[in-house]
Amino acid sequence: MTSVSHAPHSLPSYLNPDELGPWGIYLQQVDRVAPYLGSLSRWLETLKRPKRLLIVDVPIQMDNGTMAHFEGYRVQHNTSRGPGKGGVRFHQDVTLSEVMALSAWMSVKNAAVNLPFGGAKGGIRVDPRQLSVGELERITRRYTSEIGVIIGPTKDIPAPDVNTDERVMAWMMDTYSMNEGSTATGVVTGKPLALGGSLGRREATGRGVFTVGEAAANHLGLDIAQARLAVQGFGNVGAIAAQLFVEAGAKLVAVQDHSDTLYNPAGLNVAQLQAHVKSTGAIAGFASGESIKPAQFWEVDCDILIPAALEQQITEANAPKIRARMVIEGANGPTTPQADDILAERQILVIPDVMANAGGVTVSYFEWVQDFSSFFWSEEEINARLVKIMREAFAHIWQTAQTHQVSLRTATFIVACTRILQARQLRGLYP
Ligand code: NAD
């Protein structure tokens, strides 16, 4: 007779505790919420284990005739409240641990703004800047085919993330549809308008960042029209957030991307910078700002700091130097738990990723609903519904933070984890 070892709370074998990275950060965030979950904490272990992890080999033919292999992932963290939902990232540093954390943050985010979705995320470990357009299309299509066994309009719906865009979503939708034998527009969101995309989706994450920033500024007595802004990452999220703050009167005094860090206390011209990035692919070479060292970005004198690039950017090393009154996390996971504590001690308000950047998935939800009903809304309607959801969710989380005297991050986790675990408990344990 074989004996079975029961170790319900030990780490799954694929997780090396020494290399937990972003997933380790997520686990610490979940532990902080445990005392506030009452009897639901019985189900907490569910949140510490992704429901389903898929690692795929993605072989493609390169333009020079050789064959190259890339590693791809799709992780469905939790589907208690609905199908998995979350973006796909193409980046040379993508790891399983990172995709797991990003999928878990999607579960929390979707529950925080009360969308009927679970959390998922995907990625390929590749630097897409090294690929031709043809290679990019082939890698996207092969990856989509490989993860096709677990995605679908009612199962798991990918969307854009770092280095993926409308064009990549169009290829994903087409590949899935070809394999299924019928056009399935609802399999991905963030698609071009002509393929069932939604008005307002491209700007949605930045608009959500601005909406919660505006609400928080009211609480702090901070006048946005006088505010100085520093933004890390000038892609989809960072550039649109910067644009909306500047339209409201704020000054963009510093911006950083993978190519350079620019500083101009008189304010950088956002429209011109967007045009420069559109034509050159990066902020480097933009004439009207002084180029400073990357580390100096965090010390810039400003009122609002928006990390909108990658994870683990605000750390123990730079958190003591930050001069902003508020940090709005456009990126996912930009602040380590240690840095969170330092910012809290210094009374710098942090609006966490799982609340601040939920605007993108909210309009993705609208896109999915529109695709299912084949009836499309006006941009005004979309923006109005987005702003309403973001304001109401933020107000609820602000109130929760006051009630429990906790940070906005822990408050968001309290609201979201309660919703997820209530659903989990109501569904019960199968079989
Ligand atoms: P993007 O690819 O459009 O832009 C990424 C930006 O980050 C670029 O400007 C790039 O130069 C910069 N960057 C990359 N490496 C950097 C480095 N080492 N230092 C400084 N800057 C660097 O990506 P995006 O869609 O804007 O996503 C940015 C962040 O926002 C990610 O964390 C993503 O998960 C998160 N997010 C995106 C969405 C969305 O709808 N796109 C929604 C929610 C959250």
pLDDT band at 15 (very low <50, low <70, confident <90, very high): low
For ligand 1, whether the C-beta of 205 sits within 6 Å is yes
Query: Which range among 13-17, 183-187, 275-279, 305-309 shows the weakest confidence by mean pLDDT?
Result: 13-17
Does the pLDDT value for residue 12 go beyond 70?
Answer: no
For ligand 1, whether the C-beta of 333 sits within 6 Å is no
Q: What is the mean pLDDT of residues 280-295?
A: 96
**Residue 236 CA to ligand 1 centre (angstroms):** 7
Q: What is the mean pLDDT of residues 377-386?
A: 98
Ligand 1 atom closest to 102 (CA) = 34
**Residue 277 to residue 110: CA distance in whole angstroms:** 31
* Greater model confidence, 259 or 288: 259
Fold of 202-347: Rossmann fold (3.40.50)
Q: What is the mean pLDDT of residues 148-163?
A: 97
Please confirm, yes or no, whether 109 is among the known catalytic residues: no
Does the pLDDT value for residue 5 go beyond 60?
Answer: no
**Residue 429 CA to ligand 1 centre (angstroms):** 38
Q: What is the mean pLDDT of residues 333-349?
A: 95
For ligand 1, whether the C-beta of 161 sits within 6 Å is yes
Kindly report whether the peptide bond that precedes residue 431 is cis, defined as omega within 30 degrees of 0: yes
Does the pLDDT value for residue 9 go beyond 60?
Answer: no
Ligand 1 atom closest to 353 (CA) = 44
**Residue 1 CA to ligand 1 centre (angstroms):** 53
pLDDT band at 3 (very low <50, low <70, confident <90, very high): very low
Percent of the chain beyond pLDDT 70? Answer: 95
Residue 8 has a pLDDT of 47
Q: What is the mean pLDDT of residues 162-169?
A: 96
For the chain, what is the mean pLDDT? 95
pTM: 0.94
Does the pLDDT value for residue 2 go beyond 80?
Answer: no
**Residue 161 CA to ligand 1 centre (angstroms):** 7
Residue 21 has a pLDDT of 79
Top-tier CATH class for 50-185: alpha beta
Q: What is the mean pLDDT of residues 356-382?
A: 97
Question: What Cα–Cα distance (Å) separates residue 141 from each residue in 89, 176, 177, 183?
Answer: 14, 8, 11, 15
Question: What Cα–Cα distance (Å) separates residue 205 from each residue in 22, 62, 117, 346, 354?
Answer: 21, 34, 17, 27, 12
pLDDT digits (tens, 9 = 90+) for 41-81: 999 999 999 999 999 999 999 999 999 999 999 999 999 99
For ligand 1, whether the C-beta of 235 sits within 6 Å is yes
Query: In which residue ranges of the chain is CATH 3.40.50.10860 found?
Result: 50-185
Q: What is the mean pLDDT of residues 239-261?
A: 98
For ligand 1, whether the C-beta of 306 sits within 6 Å is no
Q: What is the mean pLDDT of residues 250-272?
A: 98
For ligand 1, whether the C-beta of 362 sits within 6 Å is no
For ligand 1, whether the C-beta of 86 sits within 6 Å is no
Catalytic residue among 51, 85, 109, 121: 121
**Residue 123 CA to ligand 1 centre (angstroms):** 14
**Residue 260 CA to ligand 1 centre (angstroms):** 15
pLDDT digits (tens, 9 = 90+) for 18-49: 566 789 889 989 999 999 999 999 999 999 99
For ligand 1, whether the C-beta of 312 sits within 6 Å is no
Residue 339 has a pLDDT of 95
Query: In which residue ranges of the chain is CATH 3.40.50.720 found?
Result: 202-347
> Which amino acid residue places its CA nearest to atom 3 of ligand 1?
235
Ligand 1 atom closest to 332 (CA) = 32
